[in-house]
Amino acid sequence: MPPSSNGSLFSLEGFITYFVFRFPKTPFSSSAAVAGRRDYCLPAALLLPLCMSFASSGLARVQDKPQALIHKLSDADPTVRGEAMRTLETMPSALVVPKVLEALNTADKDSAMRLVKVLVHHPDPTEIEPLIALAKKYDGLGSEVFALLGAEGARGLLSAVTKNCEAKVGAKDFPAWAGETASGIGPKARAVLKEQLTGEQPCVRKTALYGMAAVYRIRDANRDELEEAAELVIARLADSDGDVIETAERLLKPEEDGGRRYNATVEDFAPERLMKFFNAQKDPALRKRVLMALAAYGDPSVQEFMDHLAGDSDTAIEEIAQNYVPPKYEEEDRVHYTESPQSGVTPSEKAEEIEHLRQSSNPLDRVSAAEQMGKSGDVLYTAGLIELLKDSSERVRAKAAEGLGTLNEYFEDAAVRWTGNRENSAPALYAALEDHNAKVRAVAVTSLASLFPEYGSTDEIPAEHEQVLEKLMALSRDTDHEVVKQASLAYAKFLQPEDAARAIELLKNADPDVRMGAAGAIAHSGSPEGVKSLLALLKDPDKSVRCDSGRLLWG
């Protein structure tokens, strides 16, 4: 058998090497050494025709090989299929890609799935149109290949939009599928989408809108990217095309079940930017459109904004503001579930149910998963709740933070042996204090405080005691009222005896619950300076504070 070259038994180089070493020296040849051997040589007059003949037939065999391997991808034997797949993955793209694309024309769904796995190892711009046709035929199959084509893949998707504007990819409109697929390709592809938000074709602008709104799905997307995505979607409310405007309104609108279509981008960032955008507009119709979009949100800041506009000179604006009622979201789950046991050991059937909820694409189901984990009493769910703290939906993150507090809270009752996982929960909740959503921050600080006894050590928090207090003090100046309150309460709870001066300062807080927490810290410190402060609280305007102060002084 001739030796191989570059993995092929039929290469021209392998053929020449074989005959140079195997044929003996002839009268027509020189006695010069060939490759270090003096005993064998083939006359050039015979070598050239043989090489040309072999090259022609050998190349034909190589070109036929991908077709045979593609056929083997449908073999009943998984070993045969696996070997064929691995061979196709390592062959030159110039040979493989045309044959795979040809096979895709007639492939059933199972065969097409295997062929797509081959293309993942051979990304090429010539695949764009066939992959789009495949996605339309088989519910988005092949979308993963676009992620390997970079900005060129995004441009290919956008160039196909105009003629496919009314088409479907599974249950999705083509523009939605194309935009979301392009968004997942990478930063360069998203730059292309950003450019096309102001493109000439309305359907292309719609596609770019879907892509920018899908940025929240990218796990490593930072706050700046999410804020920019929200601003770009909101800006299209001023588009000249009605369909584009309608798309922007739909992307900004809560769904009927209370969930969000594009959770993090919309729910966390849109209200503030809608208010800013509204204030910058002069056109009455556009102002009304923006305010209608804003009315879908129930943030406290939205209520204040609407109250301010209740006397607006534009009667349409005034009517919207006066009729504004903060929406209430249902917490009911789409997946029915049973109550979790409180025993601390989760039966396998229940564990499967919770896992099904956790993996759901519906944020309401994931909210249910977090709730069930927290109620389970099973400390092993600490890891699952920590993972859900990274979810794209702020409602899921908030419920996960709450669940960590419920599952791992500190029990003062000496009859109950504390078995929580504070070592892992505390760092996760401490990190969640930086969440860009106020609701998550508020719940995280509440749960963090619940992990520790009053005025006890906070060693499990990955920061020095002084740093923890500084962090909580910073949160006590948050723009959200609930964050301010919970941070102040946690601050009072974490004060040590040597922090009496800080506790006394906290007595100036407007919230009676915070003043009561500060009073407790003062009493615990045993500081003589604190007695005078506690006596002053006996004249506090809040009855509960007065009663609590009396109990601390004489109880």
d(Cα 465, Cα 455) in Å, to the nearest integer? 11
pLDDT tier at 328, thresholds 50, 70, 90: low
Give the residue-averaged pLDDT of 181-201. Answer: 91
**CA-based max dimension of the chain:** 124
| pLDDT recorded at residue 63 | 43
CA distance 269 to 236: 16
Residue type, 101: L
Question: Tokens 């920019």, residue?
Answer: 228
For the beta carbon of residue 448, count every other beta carbon within 10 angstroms: 30
Residues 2, 41: contact at Cβ < 8 Å?
Answer: no
SS (H, E, C) 26-69: CCCCCCCCECCECCECCCHHHHHHHHHHHHHHHHHHHHHHHHHH
Q: Which of 393, 97, 515, 419 is nearest to 401 (CA)?
A: 393
- In angstroms, rounded to a whole number, what is the distance separating the alpha carbons of residues 457 and 497? 12
Q: Which residues pair with 5 in a beta bridge?
A: 8
- Is 278 a residue whose pLDDT tops 80? yes
Structural contact between residues 183 and 218, judged by C-beta atoms closer than 8 angstroms = yes
Of the pLDDT bands very low, low, confident and very high (cuts 50, 70, 90), residue 219 is: low
Q: What CA–CA distance (Å, rounded) separates 15 from 6?
A: 12
Residue among 510, 491, 511, 501 at smallest CA distance from 533: 501
Rounded to whole angstroms, how far apart are CA atoms 545 and 389?
35
| Residue-level pLDDT at 228 | 87
DSSP letter for each residue of 437-485: SHHHHHHHHHHHHHTS-TT---TTSSS-HHHHHHHHHHHTT-SSHHHHH
Whether residue 280 has pLDDT greater than 90: yes
pLDDT at 181 over 80: yes
Give the separation between CA 158 and CA 146, rounded to whole angstroms.
12
- pLDDT score of 433 more than 90: yes
DSSP for 381-405, written as a single string: GHHHHHHHTT-S-HHHHHHHHHHHH
Token pair 């009943």 is found at 76
pLDDT recorded at residue 255 = 52
Average model confidence (pLDDT) for the chain? 80
Q: Is pLDDT above 50 for 56? A: no
- Residue-wise burial string across 107-137, b where 16 or more C-beta atoms lie within 10 A, e elsewhere: beeebbebbbebbebbbbeebbebbbebbbe
Contacts 24+ apart (CB under 8 A), 322-326: 324/295, 326/297, 326/298, 326/302
Over residues 136-167, the pLDDT tens digits come to 999 889 988 998 898 999 999 999 999 999 99
- Bigger pLDDT: 21 or 430? 430
Structural domains in the chain, CATH included, are 1-91 (no CATH), 92-322 (1.25.10), 331-458 (1.25.10.10)
| Dihedral angle, C-alpha 427, 433, 439, 445, nearest 10 ° | 70
* Under 8 Å between Cβ of 287 and 281: yes
pLDDT for position 309: 94
> Using one digit for the tens of pLDDT, what is the confidence trace for 104-126?
999 999 899 999 999 989 999 99
Per-residue pLDDT tens over the stretch 501-549: 888 888 888 888 888 888 888 887 777 777 888 888 888 888 888 887 8
Q: Which two tokens stand for residue 28?
A: 């027509």
Cβ-based neighbours of 18, under 8 Å, separated by 6 or more: 2, 3
pLDDT on residue 506: 81
Q: Is the pLDDT of residue 264 over 50?
A: no
Q: Per mean pLDDT, which range of 102-111, 214-223, 339-348 is the poorest?
A: 339-348
Separation CA 75–CA 114 (nearest Å): 12
Q: pLDDT tens-digit profile of 381-430?
A: 899 999 999 988 888 999 999 999 988 876 544 344 455 678 888 899 99
Q: Note the pLDDT of residue 54.
A: 45
3-state secondary structure 301-312: HHHHHHHHHCCC
* Six token digits for residue 523: 């009493």
State the pLDDT confidence band at 58, using cuts at 50, 70 and 90: very low
Structural contact between residues 371 and 406, judged by C-beta atoms closer than 8 angstroms: no
**Tokens of residue 124, six digits:** 């090429």
Three-state secondary structure readout of 493-512: HCCCHHHHHHHHHHCCCCCH
pTM to 2 decimal places: 0.52
Q: Residue 86 corresponds to which tokens in the numbers above?
A: 């691995």
% pLDDT > 70, the chain: 78
Residue 160: what pLDDT? Answer: 95
| E strand segments, 412-508 | none
Q: Mean pLDDT across the stretch 241-247?
A: 95
Which one has a higher pLDDT value, 334 or 506?
506
- Residue 167, helix vs strand vs coil: coil
Whether 262 contacts 213, CB under 8 Å: yes
Q: What is the length of the chain?
A: 555
pLDDT per residue as tens digits for the range 344-372: 567 888 888 899 999 888 788 899 999 99
Distance, C-alpha 92 to centroid of its chain: 35
